[in-house]
Amino acid sequence: MKVFHIVGARPNFMKVAPVLNALKSHAQVAQTLVHTGQHYDANMSDVFFEQLGIPAPDVNLAVGSGSHARQTAEIMTRFEPVVLERQPDLVLVYGDVNSTVAAALVCAKLGVRVGHVEAGLRSFDRTMPEEVNRLVTDQLADLLFTPSEDGDINLQHEGVAAQKIFRVGNVMIDSLVKLLPAAKAQNRDGGAVFGNRLSDDRRYALVTLHRPANVDDGAMLKRILESLLEVSENLDVIFPAHPRTRQRIADFGLQAGKLQIVDPLSYLEFLGLQTRATVVITDSGGIQEETTYLGVPCLTLRENTERPITVSMGTNVLVGRDPEKLRSELARILAGRAKKGTIPPLWDGRAGERIAAIVAGGNS
Ligand code: UD1
Residues 286-301: tens digit of each pLDDT: 999 999 999 999 999 9
What pLDDT shows up at residue 51?
97
Take atom 21 of ligand 1 and give the residue whose Cα is closest: 39
- CA distances 66 to 9, 72, 73, 88, Å, are 13, 9, 10, 28
Per-residue pLDDT band at 342 (split at 50, 70, 90): very high
Mutation to probe ligand 1, out of 14, 39, 63, 284 (largest number of atoms < 8 A from CB) = 39
Per-residue pLDDT band at 364 (split at 50, 70, 90): very low
What pLDDT shows up at residue 75?
98
Per-residue pLDDT band at 186 (split at 50, 70, 90): confident
Active site includes 210? Answer: yes
Residue 170 phi/psi, 5-degree rounding, is: -95, 105
Q: Kind and range of the H or E element at 3?
A: strand 2-7
Is-contact 50 136, C-beta < 8 A? no
Domains of the chain: residue spans and CATH: 2-170+347-360 (3.40.50.2000), 182-334 (3.40.50.2000)
Q: What percent of the chain lies above the pLDDT cut of 70?
A: 95
Residues 112-133: tens digit of each pLDDT: 999 999 999 999 999 999 999 9
C-beta 65 within 6 A of ligand 1 = yes
What pLDDT shows up at residue 363?
52
C-beta 246 within 6 A of ligand 1 = no
- For the entire predicted model, the pTM comes to 0.95
Q: What is the dihedral of CA 326, 329, 330, 332, to 10 degrees?
A: 160
Question: Which of 172, 108, 156, 137 is CA-nearest to residue 307?
Answer: 172
